[in-house]
Amino acid sequence: MEKDIRIAVIGLGYVGLPLFCLISNHFTCKGLDNDSNRISLLKEGIDNRECEKRRNIIFALQRGMLTSLYSDIKDCNIYIVCVQTGIDEYNEPDLTPIKKVCESLSEILKRGDIVIFESTVFPGAIEDICIPILEECSSMKVNIDFSVGYSPERINVGDKSHKLELIPKIISASNNETLSLMNNIYSTILSAPIIQASSIKVAEAAKMYENVQRDVLIALANEFSSFCDVEGININEVTECAASKWNFAKVYPGLVGGHCIGVDTYYLLQRAKEKKHQLNIIQTARNVNEEKSHVVANKIKDIAISLEAHNILLLGFSYKADTPDYRNTKVLDIYNELKGYFTVVDCFDPIVDKKSIKNEFGISIITSEDAYRSNYDLVVKLVDHKAFKKNRISKYQIHRYKRDIMIQQINNQSVRFKEKGASDIDYLKSFYNTHKHFPLFQQVLIETRTDCNNHCKFCPHAFCKKPLGIMSWDCYKQIIDQLSDLNYNGRIALMLSNEPLLEERMEDMIIYARQKSPRFFLDMTTNGILLTVEKLDRFFKLGLDNININDYRGDRDKYPDKWSSFVNPIYEAYYNNPKVSFQKRRTDEVLPNYAGNIPQVFNPDDFGFCNYPFRKLTIGYTGNILLCCDDFLYDTNFGNVMVDNILDCWNNPDIEEIKFSLLEGKRISICSRCNDYQDYNVY
């Protein structure tokens, strides 16, 4: 083995990053990506695409380096190109990324250097496109001044069993010396067999054939699936029966997206077109698979119409199961097609990067169990993530949740101004006229005790003396038991206007609630004074879903980057965890007047439509049902959970009278002295 091997991996995505980590175990290696932000995150061991495990990245960085500058890799003598290739809007090959790499490499290419391509291309691309660019821009000649190799990537994204080091490796090169060196390098870093192709074109074609074959087989499954639908038989059962024969290719119907199968076929078709050659079966297969998303969307429409469904939830956004990769996902096509037909179309995927999707497509992806706390009329599983297994929804099966009493979220508009509350008001009126009752609450606030350890000057505790009250265990159990019997799946806040961590039974309360129902969304808001990292770890282990930490330093403007001493360790441990939210608060901020319990001057004409009584069930420490969370001194009472059914309390005629008055723009009872109001769908 040659001693002076210095390798640079260009493109640190699903192919390049794992390769960089492997090579760094054996050779001097540098990694380059033109995304400087990604490089910065990788240097911290953070890979938001989940291409590689954090520990492998950190270990590789101990021996290798990462950069976004070609000048930093000019001392290398082997360059492995792993940049993504794709198609344009006309489904024609777009080799722009690999062309740009060739141009950039030409500026640092030296005599004796080797350029190895792993990016997927059509047969002839390396020799017809890449090598001419390298030669022209560097003023050097292949096999005289430098050499070229091709080794197609074969990573199966999201596949934990077929790791890179275990996948047989196809290699090819412009000359035998380079081929021998490639064999030595890949044999060193991989445990799998090395297959030497006779030419670069053969290796390119082999990669094409792998993916095109898969495309054709899935198209066949999709075609046969449509026939089974006509016959009224289950394609999955048919497949299982057929697979009992040893030579049957067990392939299921599905959506074909991602970077390989749904892209590479177009590379081959375009190359065949240039050669004036027809690939009829392959073209037909591609058409069938492209049409599949439209077929699925129409099926969803038909079922939704038959069920009178208006609110649709799609499970999964990535292009395949158990990966955050959403490149060329066909769920996007289905989402866009359904969006114009239904009141609400949401998408829930717990593993994708929702910020990237929001930036790229303008779609707000639901990434937490909040999805299951909304009353969707229709839920469709499009991606078979393991996270969805517990719902027992088979692939492409349409499932209607039996939650007719649950509230339907149909409006995301702000209602802080009168003109924007009209849709909420119309919806609530319409719901009552249809069902003869208002929608069920979305939230339950439980006052486990009344005290707080931090009496802020803008809080009702600073103006009202509230006696110490502690909820009995029997009362708490009664609340949880009733909510479980209702099959309630919304938020349960284990606090009201108090500090929840003063509650010594909090762990037992979390345990009991979680045992009664996995559908509860257990939540609390705390000032954090009594919170530790260990305690928070324990809460989450027991089943707490979310915690909100309000840091009342009082100097957030003066020291925007600082946290109170008791919050700082928690922030360092959980700053990027979606289960924990941190908020810096001011001691001089102005909050609502809590139904007049905070002395404030206000203009009743500024009142917006208040949704609190329509979406929150507020329970005081005695078990009394209150109008809302602003009823600090318990001026209202609409029943008690120890003797009354929660639904009866929620639909109490007295509380309905107040709700009707709010719908007409009038405030009665404690509402007449309260200046608070909030959006219908906001916690």
CA max distance for the chain? 92
Of 577, 505, 569, 500, the closest CA to residue 542 belongs to: 505
Task: Name the active-site residue from 29, 76, 130, 260.
Answer: 260
Is the backbone of residue 487 left (phi > 0), alpha (psi -120 to 50) or beta?
left
**Strand order across the 443-446 sheet:** 580-584, 546-551, 521-526, 491-493, 443-446, 616-619, 625-626
Under 8 Å between Cβ of 314 and 380: yes
Of 480, 674, 494, the closest CA to residue 591 belongs to: 674
Q: Which residues face 623 on adjacent strands?
A: none
The first and second tokens of residue 291, run together, are: 């049409």
* 649 labelled catalytic: no
> Which amino acid would we find at residue 314?
L
> Which amino acid would we find at residue 334?
I
CA atoms within 13 A on the CB side of 532: 3
- Provide the 10 A C-beta neighbour count for residue 557: 9
Listed in sequence order, the residues at least 6 apart from 349 whose beta carbon sits closer than 8 Å to its beta carbon are 315, 316, 317, 318, 365, 366, 367, 383, 385
Radius of gyration of the chain (CA): 31
- Rounded distance, CA 250 to CA 218, Å? 10
For the chain, first and last CA: distance in Å? 64
Under 8 Å between Cβ of 663 and 429: yes
- Rounded distance, CA 664 to CA 428, Å? 11
What are the catalytic residues? Answer: 260
